[in-house]
Structure 1
Amino acid sequence: MTKDIHLYTASTMNGWKPVIFLEEAGVEYDLTHIDFAKKQHKHPEYLQLNPNGRIPTIVDRSNNDFVVFESGAILWYLAEKYQKFLPQKPDERSVTLQWLMFQMGGIGPMMGQAMYFQRIAAKQGEENLFATDRYVQESRRLMEVLNARLAKSRFLACGEYTIADMATYPWARAFYWAKVQVEDLQHLNRWFDEIDARKATQRALTIPKPFWAFFGKGNVEVQERENADRFKSDVISRSNI
């Protein structure tokens, strides 16, 4: 039986977002693992689906093969399609989307750059202390914003687990990989503990395959080296500009 949703993704913070939704919602789906090492995200057939050449992307076969790219847009689309993890009351819905955009516009970009400069560029001999400090400090500030919010609310948007939490969790939980200190952020860590206990979310972090180094687990040194080597050509091409 053909499943409605075909997901194209990889094991990254953005890549896990729709997997978390689908696993939590109990929705069956087909999955294509996009291999960065083989540059599959740049293949012409994939670029026809996602012109930005990034992951994730979904195709909704039940909606005339409608394509959605950008992880936040995918979560929003799935939430509306399945009527899950997005409150129906207008104010609560708006708050959920505000925190979703907070992740998309702030936490993802800032922590992503902190990770890139420390875990990829520096490993290829391109160390930029100014950039590293800027992105790490801004990531810490954003974690403090989350902590303040979670002091007032069990979850980010309201009293229930929503797509705002799904979007933010894999990024914030990877504070280790961004080298951002969060030990003193009590409410953020309480939120981590609660989502750490959600079996469906944790299962999603193993699909298409786990990358435990993001969370400071497993053989971090080996996975860090493999990750840096995967993006070696990107660093070298930029250093020659």
Structure 2
Amino acid sequence: MKDLESFPIENRWPAADPTVLQLYSFPTPNGVKAAIMLEETGLPYEAHLVTLADKDVKSPEFLSLNPNNKIPAIIDPNGPDGAPLALFESGAILIYLAEKTGQFIGKTASERAHVIQWLMFQMGGVGPMFGQLGFFYKFAGSEWEDKRPQERYVNEAKRLLAVLEKSMEGKEWIVGDYSIADIALCPWLNALDFYGAREAVGWQDHPNLVAYVERFYARPAVQKGKNIPPRP
């Protein structure tokens, strides 16, 4: 382990205990993925609140850790090869923590491949499309007179939900046991409520997904991780 003082982000969000993993995040669907995973694995960590305001995510200190100015990001002082590891992108963080701990990434090579498949489905489909749905349904885009963009993302959300609903038939979790794929998917499915879009996408017509999300949020680690770091 090396001293974290070499990381510029320490100048703004200093570690109280530089021997544990440092999480820089905000409780959005992407942000809580990392916090929930840390709670599930039991790894010791510190959480630092990085708001979505430009003064935080576009600060030189945060950009030194993630040039894409998005949360979450981590520094693991106990990284591979005896050196600290800085990492951004929520999906990459989930895979890294799963491999580091040997947890939540499948019991076989085949399961691992399918867990990563569904993680990529969230990263490339559910996350971006639901995010656009939120913009056009709840935020600034909802005020646009032209409703074609809103209709596009409502319809795409419906399509993605149909894929998941069918895939969850007769299952408790998306691939075998609980995994990082579930940790990636469920916060985004729950975001439909935050966007006020459940009725628009026919959420109640997806009983497998309704039960899936309820099962996910019943987990103690999820209940704790969904509010880390606490909103100001």
> How big is the shift at 1:37?
3.0
> How big is the shift at 1:119?
1.9
TM-score by length of 2: 0.85
Residues 1:69 and 2:88 aligned together: yes
Alignment CA distance shift 1:184-1:210 (3 Å): farther
Cα contact 1:117–1:127 (8 A) shared by 2: no
Residues 1:154 and 2:193 aligned together: no
* Count of equivalent residues: 209
Partner of 1:62: helix, strand, or coil? coil
Match of 1:37 among 34, 45, 53: 53
Cα contact 1:9–1:31 (8 A) shared by 2: yes
Q: Which moves more between the two structures, 27-36 or 174-183?
A: 174-183
> How big is the shift at 1:97?
0.3
The residue that corresponds to 1:105 in the other structure is: 124
Superposed counterparts of 1:76-155, under 5 Å: 76-122=95-141, 125-155=143-173
Aligned amino acid, residue 182 of structure 1: W
Aligned amino acid, residue 26 of structure 1: G
Residues 1:173 and 2:190 aligned together: yes
Task: State the distance in 2 between where 1:5 and 1:88 align.
Answer: 25
Match of 1:196 among 210, 214, 217: 217
Q: Which runs of 5+ in 2 are unaligned?
A: 1-16
Residues 1:24 and 2:40 aligned together: yes
Task: State the distance in 2 between where 1:45 and 1:4 align.
Answer: 19
The residue that corresponds to 2:228 in the other structure is: 207
The residue that corresponds to 1:53 in the other structure is: 69
Task: State the distance in 1 between where 2:47 and 2:93 align.
Answer: 15
Match of 1:4 among 20, 30, 51: 20
Cα contact 1:118–1:127 (8 A) shared by 2: no
Alignment CA distance shift 1:210-1:168 (3 Å): farther
Q: Which runs of 5+ in 1 are unaligned?
A: 212-241
> How big is the shift at 1:128?
4.0
RMSD: 1.7
- Between the two proteins, what is the percent identity of the paired residues? 40
Task: State the distance in 1 between where 2:56 and 2:166 align.
Answer: 40
Task: State the distance in 2 between where 1:151 and 1:78 align.
Answer: 28
Partner of 2:57: helix, strand, or coil? helix
> How big is the shift at 1:46?
1.0
> How big is the shift at 1:186?
1.2
Alignment CA distance shift 1:55-1:154 (3 Å): same
The residue that corresponds to 2:207 in the other structure is: 186
Task: State the distance in 1 between where 2:70 and 2:54 align.
Answer: 14
